Amino acid sequence: TTIGNYWTDWDDNSGAPGNYSIDGGTAKDYEPRGLFVFSVGAGTDKWAFRWQINQTEFDSGSPVYPGTEFTDAQYANITEDDDVRQDDQTSTDGYYAAHRFNFSINSSLTSGIDKINVTWIGKGDHDTSTDGAKLYIFNFSATAAPYYKELDSDTTTYEEITLTGGVTSNIFTDYINGNNVTILVNQTSAQTTGFVIEYSHIWTDYIKLVITPE
């Protein structure tokens, strides 16, 4: 929605405003136009999906993996940059722990977009192999793998990281389909089994998508 009381510097804030009182009454702030966060509209105009993805699914050209939607409680874990995280680990060899995010872009914004920018805050850890995570946006016009364009990565640590990146060209042909933008974050290494099962883990603390109009 585009009504409400907005920040002037919303692009630098971690979430949308909340409710507040004015002269004994109640006013409601809405998500600023162009900012998409899960504190507003989770499961309504933006969705998160959890668990794991393998290379075949990643290269399939179908941005539906992973496909288990967050519960309300799990959505609550990713509304703010507050060290409250939604965590998942793999259950099958060859799979990477992953979270997928779909954002429905209001048609009033799709008339002219200069940039799509994504910021993800979280952790990626593997029991024995390379730690860290990678951030992607799905390219709907790609005709062969890779269908996901890598925006950022950090494979040096299991501690919390911030990944951020964006696209500025071919936005409507490549990255928006039916007013939808698809973002994927996966842990860097797949689950394997040696003497023990070596799991891949992903934690999402917070994610935001920012649309910059022309």
Q: What is the mean pLDDT of the chain?
A: 88
Local confidence band at 142 (pLDDT 50, 70, 90 cut-offs): very high
Kindly list the distances between the CA atom of residue 196 and the CA atoms of 51, 91, 107, in Å, as whole numbers in the listed order.
20, 13, 50
For residue 26, being part of any structural domain is answered with no
Q: Which of 124, 101, 100 is nearest to 191 (CA)?
A: 124
Kindly list the distances between the CA atom of residue 152 and the CA atoms of 4, 185, 210, in Å, as whole numbers in the listed order.
33, 10, 16
At residue 31, the pLDDT reads 52
198-214: average pLDDT: 96
Identify any residues that bridge with 101 across adjacent strands, giving them in sequence order: 48, 183
CATH of the domain at 191: 2.60.120
Q: Is the pLDDT of residue 160 over 90?
A: yes
Burial of 131: CB neighbours in 10 Å, binned 0-12, 13-18, 19+: buried
Q: Which of 47, 80, 24, 59 is nearest to 139 (CA)?
A: 59
**Least-confidence region, from 20-34, 78-92, 147-161, 198-212:** 20-34
For residue 104, being part of any structural domain is answered with yes
Full-model pTM: 0.86
Query: Domain tally for the chain?
Result: 1
For residue 24, being part of any structural domain is answered with no
For residue 156, being part of any structural domain is answered with yes
Burial of 36: CB neighbours in 10 Å, binned 0-12, 13-18, 19+: buried
65-83: average pLDDT: 98
* Residue 46 token pair: 């933006």
33-61: average pLDDT: 96
Local confidence band at 108 (pLDDT 50, 70, 90 cut-offs): low
For residue 9, being part of any structural domain is answered with no
Please name the residues in contact with 131: beta carbons below 8 A apart, sequence gap of 6 or more: 124, 125, 155, 156, 157, 158, 187, 188, 189
Q: Is the pLDDT of residue 1 over 80?
A: no
At residue 10, the pLDDT reads 38
At residue 171, the pLDDT reads 95
Q: Is the pLDDT of residue 21 over 80?
A: no
Local confidence band at 213 (pLDDT 50, 70, 90 cut-offs): confident
For residue 96, being part of any structural domain is answered with yes
- Check if the beta carbon of residue 133 is closer than 8 Å to that of residue 119: no
Local confidence band at 106 (pLDDT 50, 70, 90 cut-offs): confident
For residue 39, being part of any structural domain is answered with yes
Compute the distance between CA of residue 166 and CA of residue 183 in angstroms, rounded to an integer.
11
For residue 81, being part of any structural domain is answered with yes
Q: Which domain holds residue 105?
A: 34-213
Q: Is the pLDDT of residue 2 over 90?
A: no
For residue 63, cis peptide bond before it (omega within 30 degrees of 0): no
At residue 110, the pLDDT reads 64
